[in-house]
Structure 1
């Protein structure tokens, strides 16, 4: 599955998605996918690149359990063999309590990590450790089936996971395991031949269904036609059957790889190959098939696009580039044009001293709100004469200290923004120039087709991707006009229009002079950033 998914991913994924896929591939190859996904998704990551292997998180939890649980049982048996059931029960209850406590506080970790999912496995272990007394009980078996059906009905996408409702399918399964013995109605129902066959191929089908359905969705814009979805389900069932017939059964029945040494060698090779491919993809040594077109169009992510703070020690700084990731997108181009500079940014953050777009309870709130003070300190310490302030300017603002909502920057919050910007300029040394770079037009403004950029749009097989869109739809036009007027009133500020070089003749270009202007849905490529930086007069950065 990993090998086939890697080949398919190489054939159809964009460079950005293949890079993220490679991280998931590395993690899945060492049964640590749950640890990778529990870290969450950073600002730049496209969730699509992780999706083909997202289901392997369960294999990570299982493998970690299989490594830990035998050691636990060995320790317990050396102490008191009759204590194992008590130990398993206590650990299961502790794990469930931890899950309930952690889910509202850190839902991603609660969902993916072994300590908060171990209670489900411990429930199965408890079933195995219970005394082997006669257990045939049709009523309890039926109750178990009803609990599973209730779980299917009540658990939805918004249900906290794991949470109390997940007791329904897990306890229901335990009741069936314990009491649905031969002769009960539930045993006859679940013994239906079709269900038995589905059960036999269930593991392989589980492995294959996610990549099959993901890749079908990846190449089709909009809802997938029903006939294609059904074909994908049957393809997953066919692949699951093939896996069971030619991989699982021969190994399980010792018809293949019967010798332990051969089994270890085959398993190691099967995992080392995708592990190596994942490493090569993550390091960009291996690019997907679309990588050649991305390179030709200069559409790969710029080297410092994900950087937050870059400060060269003991070197004169021509400028400080300040803002969010829309500031970081200019750093390489600004350095090429103006010489050594510094970057001070925080993804998704607008920090103007007295106001910001982050609430105090936001995990990133403190770092964002402290950015303005760091700017003041750096400019004074390094005697920098020019600050280039670039942002995605369309934000909701809150007052620092009180979290009072002030409105959007393109609405009533605009007045608070320019007042705060003037106040921040007051904290800088006299004669400091502040160059405001207006809002990037972005690819997003072209509509849903360009949500993840032009290269991603090209991966869809059922649409034609636009090369431009009307300049009237460019993002941030209202707030940019307000910032331009503000700079005209305050001599400490100079306004630079990011839209002008990218939107000539009333059209915002996604491809310009044979190169892409955006490497994703929002952020500029190096050539596009260079076009904007070229509009800044070099005299503004002279001492």
Structure 2
């Protein structure tokens, strides 16, 4: 016998668990290191609740597609429109050209409910960091709404075909999960953002919703079956066991999934299964009844949607200006998010969804669609107008719009690999200058990640000026990711092949650059192993180059904000430097290790910084800034650095 789904307070409590996991991950990533799994919990809850509505309507003969989508619009659009407009207004005031233009693109994509596809297309080495994308979190909303374009049609088709409905849904679920696993192995960003690799999580909830409507007594009977009597003689049921198991899976997923684990993949089974078990356990399970159904958890669950919408833009705008080190501001932003979420729920969501005025409910969907379309147009125009340059002073616009060619300056995708899509065989033959002079000129190799790729322009200019050496470039992965004990993955495989090529080339001088802070405690041993390898293969001189100064959010924006405050573009400044003391400690450690291993060391900090601050520009031309982002050198910065490296190469004009 079929039965409609009644309100389940504990499901709102489970929503609270999901949103708290995400919010706490965004504020305390070191503690809640995989709190992003809250999104996976949301997917299961959404699939359960929305599919329950669909199947209940189909069972009663009252389901209609127009009514279903009108409900979705009243649910999703009001708070979303408010947040999108807020972000656009704040972006107009505080974002520069690229940031505001990208925000416009993301607003337009969200209005069209394809933000996940746009963020997927943007993934790449030089893509803007996540913390500077105020709408990045809305990728999940795109996946969810894309599901609800397809799923109601499938549900409508399957409802009357009870003989194979469960089997059909199970096959679709397994197929989507298989795509997820395959994509996670091949290209994790595909698995993370694309809808068909995520639908299985929503289908898990949908399957539960189908069973709860079509076969309610089966699952309730199983959940209420007594396993034993607990403290005070209270029966401990299958539902209690399922709820405990589900909560443990969610806790494990939130705290203990390794930060570098391939996600979603198989790991996504933990939060998905955990959420499904807790939902299936029912209202009478002790955890669901006493914890998830508490007033506090229900309250957070009720405001979970606007809380999810509000918290990330506030955190992103703060981090764009202040960096990640001022944690108290992030905590304050979350507190404000709770307030805004409650106000949005009480004065925007509820009146439109549940308002007693008939005309509001009747005309709201059409009005909201028109308004959302207008918001999308506003975002699209912002994107096409390149962030409205007329907002800013001409001098700043000229500086911000100066182009940078990664293919020419870093030799991107030819001698600087795009990780995840290229391997060691992708290096162009042009990465090694040919030995046309019979071997008379020494070979200088640039080796490392992007912080070695930015040496190329300076090295090439010095080579052209002196004609004293041949140049080679193998960049993309850290030179220290050598595939030894404790290392694995794409870069280890690339460097395994590179070491064979380097052993064959036997370069005379190797210049190593890297993002050294990522190496952690393994840095000394890995550096020693790399030095030993090079010396064993004929390298006479090894030059280690230290970390450059780091700017927040990048040098262009730091200089622009300085200009707004002081009216000048400084040659040197300290404002905008990010974690300078941490960078200095890494610099000193590398200097000490270089001395210990008897290799040359170039302190990039000493080259660019003094007591007056760190160098921002060389000259007054539009392309004079020394960095293209937070810590990658521009052409002028690379040439300036190689003036310091030049004496170590023993070359002359």
From 280, 296, 300, the equivalent of 2:400 is 300
User: Does 2:201 match 1:97?
Assistant: no
From 594, 608, 628, the equivalent of 1:520 is 628
From 169, 179, 191, the equivalent of 1:88 is 169
How far the C-alpha of 1:259 sits from its partner, in A, is 5.7
From 474, 488, 503, the equivalent of 1:396 is 474
Q: 1:5-404 to 2 correspondence within 5 Å?
A: 5-42=87-124, 44-48=126-130, 51-77=133-159, 80-130=161-211, 131-133=215-217, 134=220, 135-136=223-224, 137-182=239-284, 184-226=286-328, 228-255=329-356, 258=359, 262-284=363-385, 286-287=387-388, 292-293=392-393, 295-296=395-396, 298-302=398-402, 305-306=404-405, 324-325=408-409, 346-347=411-412, 349-350=414-415, 358=417, 363=422, 369=428, 391=457, 393=459, 395-396=473-474, 403-404=498-499
Q: 1:497-508 to 2 correspondence within 5 Å?
A: none
Structure number with greater CO (CA < 8 Å, separation at least 6) is: 2
CA distance in 1, matches of 2:387, 2:350: 35
How far the C-alpha of 1:515 sits from its partner, in A, is 5.1
Q: SS of the residue aligned with 2:123?
A: coil
How far the C-alpha of 1:260 sits from its partner, in A, is 6.7
Is the contact between residue 409 and residue 635 of structure 2 (CA under 8 Å) also seen in structure 1? no
How far the C-alpha of 1:156 sits from its partner, in A, is 3.9
CA distance in 2, matches of 1:407, 1:222: 39
1:340 match = none
CA distance in 2, matches of 1:360, 1:249: 47
CA distance in 1, matches of 2:179, 2:327: 42
Q: C-alpha deviations, 1:50-96, integer Å up to 9, x for none?
A: 62111101000000000000111223246x23422221112112211
Q: Which moved more, 1:266-275 or 1:104-113?
A: 266-275
Q: C-alpha deviations, 1:103-123, integer Å up to 9, x for none?
A: 021100101111111111111
Q: Counting helix residues as a fraction of each chain, which structure ranks higher?
A: 2
Is the contact between residue 321 and residue 553 of structure 2 (CA under 8 Å) also seen in structure 1? no
CA distance in 2, matches of 1:38, 1:203: 23
Q: C-alpha deviations, 1:297-351, integer Å up to 9, x for none?
A: 6213336x4586xxxxxxxxxxxxxxx246xxxxxxxxxxxxxxxxxxx53643x
Is the contact between residue 297 and residue 514 of structure 1 (CA under 8 Å) also seen in structure 2? no
**Residues 396 and 87 of structure 1: is their aligned pair in 2 closer, same or farther, counting only changes over 3 Å?**
same
How far the C-alpha of 1:14 sits from its partner, in A, is 2.3
CA distance in 2, matches of 1:68, 1:401: 45
CA distance in 2, matches of 1:275, 1:216: 24
CA distance in 2, matches of 1:415, 1:71: 65
RMSD over aligned CA atoms reads: 4.5
2:590 match = none
- Could you tell me the TM-score, scaled by structure 1's length? 0.64
CA distance in 1, matches of 2:153, 2:261: 34
Q: Which runs of 5+ in 2 are unaligned?
A: 1-82, 225-238, 433-454, 460-471, 480-493, 512-545, 574-613, 640-653
CA distance in 1, matches of 2:298, 2:495: 61
Q: Which moved more, 1:93-102 or 1:145-154?
A: 145-154
